[in-house]
Amino acid sequence: MARRKHCRRVGFLPDTKYFKPRGIPLSVLEEVNLTVDELEAIRLADFEGLYQEQAAEKMDISRQTFGRIIESAHKKVAEALVKGKALKIEGGEIEMPEMRKFRCSDCQHAWELPYGTGRPLGCPSCKSDNIHRAVEDRGCASRLRREQGRCCRGIQQG
């Protein structure tokens, strides 16, 4: 079941993860599962208009692999549009930052927390609440992901 795949670098995560055609009851609605790396391929090639070579480079994969991903992505989107199916954006072997960095302005203690755990209440070292996201953790999200991305974390919906 767990097939080893090469990580695809992804420069953004979609806010909208579900597209549903209007007027079709859930009981008869069929879903197409578009993976996050497939959406990224569409974003780079179709939305930003990059050549496949450039897009492949951005995702850190070969031109051949990119070709397969974009072909699969186009087919799924077409299927959803033609057949009136819902599009669910979920999954895919992708690379993204796992940790957020914080820094305490009082004692300069710096630490990391995983995404999704919420903002810390205080500095773990001196208990001060004068804490901030570390400067290097702001700025360009895509650059951050490139530099801090660790390996292969599947994205689950929600």
Contact 56, 65 (CB under 8 A): yes
126 binds Zn ion (CB under 5 A): yes
- Which span sits near Zn ion by CB under 5 A: 24-32, 65-73, 119-127, 150-158? 119-127
Look at residues 58, 70, 72, 67 and name the one whose alpha carbon lies nearest to residue 10. 58
Does 142 contact Zn ion by CB under 5 A? no
Handedness of CA 44, 50, 52, 56 (dihedral sign): negative
Report, in Å, the least distance between residue 4 CB and Zn ion. 42
Site for Zn ion in 70-109 (CB under 5 A): 104, 106-107, 109
Residues 6+ away with beta carbon under 8 Å from 80: 19, 32, 86, 87
21 versus 122: smaller Cβ distance to Zn ion: 122
130 binds Zn ion (CB under 5 A): no
Q: What is the binding site for Zn ion (CB under 5 A)?
A: 104, 106-107, 109, 123, 125-126, 128
